[in-house]
Amino acid sequence: MRICTSCGHNNSDTAAFCALCGNPLVAGPADNSDYTQQNDRINFDFSENNVFVSNDEYVVATLKNGIVNNILSGEGIKTEDAVLTNKRLYYNHKTGIINIHTQEEKVNIKDITGSKIATFNPVGLLILSILLFLVGFIGLFAKEEEVAVAFIPATLLLIVYFIVKKSHLKIEYAGGSIYFSVKKYGQKNIRNFQKCIYAVKDHLSER
């Protein structure tokens, strides 16, 4: 797999130039971006199920959140998929178990007006949790049971920290916006996804 350093698009191992932007290619590491590892499978699934609007569409980049990840992230019982193609952004959102609500959006890349990453990181909770863990260890080694009880609130605070900590990618387009939880993704991968959006947008505007 050869990944374009300009737009982030995945190309075949034998490609000399990027199929999306035309940039010369060099072989890159297979783990360059987490969100592109399953693009070939997703390409097949979407094409087989006629999800793509046009027959000549192909996957450029993807983001995915499963139920387990969203529950652990405090986002609730839902699944999310964001698939960026060379023409559109597809967003699928499903919530609930008994009463299931499904939302599907297809946004033309040309209609996307902007994007931003919003994060909330309650570092104070993390620091307090670490301090309580230290107090608990001190009490444990000093054989003072009352002090060692600090492990309980320390653990609870740590759990709350990971639940409350948020990171979202907001993609704005004419008539609305899409919020996608990107808590499990690194900043580099999210920025690469943003770059892919604008690379496709620039490519389409040059036609």
CATH, residue 58: 2.30.29
pTM over cut 0.85: no
Q: CA–CA separation, 173 vs 156, rounded Å? A: 39
Do 59 and 127 lie in one domain? The reply is no
Sheet holding 88-95, edge to edge: 59-65, 78-85, 88-95, 101-108
Do 35 and 115 lie in one domain? The reply is yes
Tokens of 121: 């990181």
Do 78 and 149 lie in one domain? The reply is no
Q: How many CB atoms lie within 10 A of CB 54?
A: 10
Q: How many CB atoms lie within 10 A of CB 192?
A: 20
Do 116 and 135 lie in one domain? The reply is no
Do 22 and 114 lie in one domain? The reply is yes
Do 73 and 52 lie in one domain? The reply is yes
Instruction: Please give the tally of structural domains in the chain.
Output: 2
Residues 6+ apart with CB under 8 A from 205: 110
63: Cα separation from own chain's centroid: 5
Q: H helices of 29-186, where?
A: 39-48, 67-72, 123-141, 145-148, 151-164
- Buried b / exposed e over 119-152, threshold 16 CB at 10 Å, is eeeeeebbebbeebbebbeebeeeeeeebbebbe
Q: CA–CA separation, 160 vs 154, rounded Å? A: 10
pLDDT on residue 195: 87
Residue 174 lies in domain: 2-121+165-205
Do 135 and 96 lie in one domain? The reply is no
Question: Over the stretch 156-173, which tens digit does the pLDDT of each residue have?
Answer: 999 888 888 888 888 999
Do 100 and 175 lie in one domain? The reply is yes
pLDDT on residue 165: 83
Question: Over the stretch 142-154, which tens digit does the pLDDT of each residue have?
Answer: 777 776 688 889 8
Q: CA–CA separation, 82 vs 46, rounded Å? A: 12
Q: How many CB atoms lie within 10 A of CB 34?
A: 16
Q: CA–CA separation, 89 vs 3, rounded Å? A: 20
Residues 6+ apart with CB under 8 A from 152: none
Which residue shows structure tokens 């990181």? 121
pLDDT on residue 128: 94
Do 100 and 201 lie in one domain? The reply is yes
Do 139 and 197 lie in one domain? The reply is no
Amino acid at residue number 167:
S
pLDDT on residue 157: 92
| Sign of the dihedral through C-alpha 136, 137, 140, 142 | negative
Ranges of residues in the chain whose predicted pLDDT is under 50: 26-44, 47-48
Tokens of 171: 């993609």
pLDDT on residue 27: 44
